[in-house]
Amino acid sequence: MTIQPGLTGSIFFLSITGSSMTEAILVVLIIVPFFAALACLLIRSTACRACIVIATAAMLAVSSLLLQGPLAPDAGLRWAGLIDPLITGCDFLLLAVMFYLGCRYRHPLIVLLTAGQLGLFVRLEFFVFAKDRGHALFQVDVLSLTLVRVVCLVGGLICLHAIPYMQAHEQHQNPARSRQPQFFALLLLFLGAMNGLVLTNHLAHFYFFFELTTLCSFLLIGHDRSKEAMDNALTALWMNGLGGLLLLFAIQGLYGQSAMLDMTGLAAATAGNQAALLPLSLLLLAAFTKSAQLPWQRWLLGAMVAPTPTSALLHSSTMVKAGVYLALRFAPAFAHTLLAQGLMLAGGFTFLAAAALAIGQRNAKKVLAYSTISNLGLIFACAGIGTPAAVAAAMLLILFHAVSKGLLFLCVGTAEQQVHSRDIEVLRGLCARMPLTGMIAVLAVLTLIVPPFGMLLGKWLVFEAGADHLVFYLMLVLGSSFTLLYWVRLAGTLLASGQVEGFKPERQPLLSRFPLVALACGAVVLALGAPILYGRLLPGGQTWSAGRGGVLTTAVGSFPLDVLFAVAALLGLLALFGVSRAMAGRKAFPYLAGANTRLPDHFVGPMNRPVRAMVENSYLAPFFGEERWTLWVNLAAAGFLLVMLGGALWQ
């Protein structure tokens, strides 16, 4: 084992020496999901498959919590020598499958992109770095630990929620043959691929896991096999295939500068090297495609046609985080360059533009999708700022976003199965019809926008980190205002109700209820522990301190967490008291100027006929309509990316 300074603290590498405990944990985190996926695929029994999913989710959760550093060098990785040839063989198999899919669906762009990847990969593997073997294969640092725990804990809960969800989904779809074995196999394979992606220290191995998530996303998005699902799945495949090709070009350029594939070593070796900025810019473009940043957001918006567990995994805990992880991993290499400033502006613009487009959406899942794109843009901007405080803020945003957004997706999916719609107006009054799901959804929204919850704390830290950059700061202020608008509208709509009757008890299977409650509790607990988390994410804790009275203090401001939590708890109790009194009182229909009928929400209209009184939100389509602004927003985003590339070439 070797220990070197890294991005956010000490990085602990495993090469051919490492503890047996660590070896067992790595096997569980990366290898076990692959075998569990195979078992799900082969076993047709629903009960056995559910047991496999539950056991795998539990093993991943425990293993992610046990994985720690420093790592004692008391035993070697006995299978380290097999990893490189195995992954190389799997790379060729993976590219062959993607090439076949392009031919099968007659998609020339997929065929060309996959053929380009295959040719470039052959050149690199056999003629460029064929002798680059035997260095550190895995790494465990603060960044990788954060992502591993997000994948295993949030992703595992999503898999549990998927068990009853998919049973109800197939009852509605009524396919000739159950496709649940394939679906759960892909979910577990996805988790194993993401664990491999964030734990590997070998850039060529990172490429394999990067592309494996691309294939899994294609199969998951196209699960229902409708024309719309397959069209969106193919869009995801070619856009992420473009990202894979860009990543290979970046690997070739970085290897040409440093003759190594060690990711952290590359980040250190290329820092200050102007010739490395062009391949680094290609690497960032690959990250942008994987994280669905403008102008490549279409594949992620299309993913919402898939079953909700797919959307929750793609949007919150797994695939979209791969891009920001890559940017943060290599942030030291381009820190304080024009490329970094271009990345900051491109991320800031995505944060602003995606938030604006979310305002014009009636589809609840689309609101969540645009919100994800927006928040990921903010994390990319943190990588561009590049200071330790900004990187720590980015990791906090990754953590809090995964928990709250995963929770919201599961709530919307659960509600959709009851009301058979994703329209926000159809979900109006959800808290009365489905009290548990509705109130947890409202809590999830609050964790994203109000103090003292974590997302607001993370954004406050980003405000501080970006205070010296005026243009970015203006983007941040305006984008935050738009974000507040669409979240308040959604929460208010869920709470609003014109129903006369009171709350109805909501019955849910245990595996539907438990992930919702666990993620809701997790969002609150993480917010309470935000000062501790930030101190651990920031090397040395030199810019923060928890003062008396629970006040989190940085170099430029304070955040009184304990006081705000006390106020929030008091307001919550008052709200519960007010609701209980309102439910106990006399109930009546809304008064409609003396022209009510016996029908709820109706008044007497022309010819004495009942007319329904409609109460609807304004979605400001003329100002924020997707159809009107998407083209122009994409062009502007492409312009910011050109500025970023220009910074790499001009430096």
- Dump the DSSP string for 433-486: HSHHHHHHHHHHHHHHHSTTSHHHHHHHHHHHHTTT-HHHHHHHHHHHHHHHHH
Read off the DSSP letter of residue 615.
-
Reply yes or no on whether the pLDDT at 275 is more than 50: yes
User: What is the model's pLDDT at position 610?
Assistant: 78
User: What is the model's pLDDT at position 136?
Assistant: 64
Reply yes or no on whether the pLDDT at 342 is more than 90: yes
> Which residue shows structure tokens 């205070």?
467
Strand-by-strand arrangement of the 10-14 sheet? 2-5, 10-14, 138-140
User: Tell me: the pLDDT tens digits for 126-139?
Assistant: 888 765 544 567 88
User: What is the model's pLDDT at position 623?
Assistant: 87
User: What is the model's pLDDT at position 561?
Assistant: 73
Token pair belonging to 185: 């196999």
User: Tell me: the pLDDT tens digits for 414-473?
Assistant: 999 888 888 898 898 888 888 889 999 999 999 998 887 888 888 888 988 888 889 999
Q: Mean pLDDT: which of 38-52, 57-71, 315-329, 637-651 is highest? A: 38-52
Q: What's the CA gap between 269 and 407, in Å, rounded?
A: 40
User: Tell me: the pLDDT tens digits for 363-408?
Assistant: 999 999 999 999 999 999 999 998 888 998 999 999 999 999 999 9
Reply yes or no on whether the pLDDT at 117 is more than 90: yes
Backbone angles phi, psi at 324, to 5 degrees: -70, -30
Task: Give the residue-averaged pLDDT of 119-147.
Answer: 80
Q: What's the CA gap between 384 and 339, in Å, rounded?
A: 8
Q: Please, which residues have CB within 8 angstroms of residue 35's CB and are 6 or more apart in sequence?
A: none
Read off the DSSP letter of residue 4.
E
Token pair belonging to 242: 């473009």
Nearest to 432 by CA among 566, 600, 603, 611: 600
Q: Residue 621: which H helix or E strand, with range?
A: helix 621-624
User: What is the model's pLDDT at position 13?
Assistant: 46
Q: What's the CA gap between 129 and 152, in Å, rounded?
A: 33
How many angstroms separate the Cα of 347 from the Cα of each of 277, 457, 479, 485, 647? 18, 19, 11, 20, 15
**Widest Cα–Cα separation across the chain:** 88
Reply yes or no on whether the pLDDT at 583 is more than 80: no
Q: What's the CA gap between 319 and 322, in Å, rounded?
A: 5
Q: What's the CA gap between 168 and 177, in Å, rounded?
A: 15
**Among the ranges given (22-36, 74-88, 225-239, 526-540), the one the predictor scored with the smallest mean pLDDT:** 74-88
Q: How many CB atoms neighbour CB 265 within 10 A?
A: 18
User: What is the model's pLDDT at position 472?
Assistant: 94
User: What is the model's pLDDT at position 79?
Assistant: 61
The pLDDT mean for the chain works out to: 85
User: What is the model's pLDDT at position 560?
Assistant: 76
User: What is the model's pLDDT at position 1?
Assistant: 38
Reply yes or no on whether the pLDDT at 26 is more than 60: yes
Q: How many CB atoms neighbour CB 213 within 10 A?
A: 23
Is residue 634 classed as helix, strand or coil in its secondary structure? helix
| pLDDT greater at residue 52 or residue 433 | 52
553: confidence class by pLDDT, cuts 50, 70, 90: low
User: What is the model's pLDDT at position 478?
Assistant: 95
Cis upstream peptide for 388 (omega within 30°): no
User: What is the model's pLDDT at position 547?
Assistant: 41
Q: Which sequence spans correspond to the domains of the chain?
A: 335-584+618-651
User: Tell me: the pLDDT tens digits for 177-210?
Assistant: 889 999 999 999 999 999 999 999 889 999 999 9
User: Tell me: the pLDDT tens digits for 227-244?
Assistant: 999 999 999 999 999 999
Q: What's the CA gap between 462 and 378, in Å, rounded?
A: 8
Task: Give the residue-averaged pLDDT of 266-270.
Answer: 89
Nearest to 340 by CA among 240, 466, 457, 459: 466
Q: What's the CA gap between 637 and 631, in Å, rounded?
A: 10
Q: Mean pLDDT: which of 62-76, 509-523, 586-600 is highest? A: 509-523
Q: What's the CA gap between 146 and 140, in Å, rounded?
A: 10
17: confidence class by pLDDT, cuts 50, 70, 90: very low
Q: How would you classify the pairing of strands 602-604 and 610-612?
A: antiparallel
DSSP 350-404: HHHHHHHHHHT--BHHHHHHHHHHHHHHHHHHHHHH--HHHHHHHHHHHHHHHHH
Token pair belonging to 456: 């607001």
State whether the Cα torsion 217-221-222-223 is positive or negative.
positive
Task: Give the residue-averaged pLDDT of 559-582.
Answer: 76
User: What is the model's pLDDT at position 542?
Assistant: 46
User: What is the model's pLDDT at position 15?
Assistant: 42
630: confidence class by pLDDT, cuts 50, 70, 90: very high
Q: What's the CA gap between 103 and 114, in Å, rounded?
A: 11
User: Tell me: the pLDDT tens digits for 605-627?
Assistant: 777 777 777 778 888 888 888 88
Reply yes or no on whether the pLDDT at 503 is more than 90: no
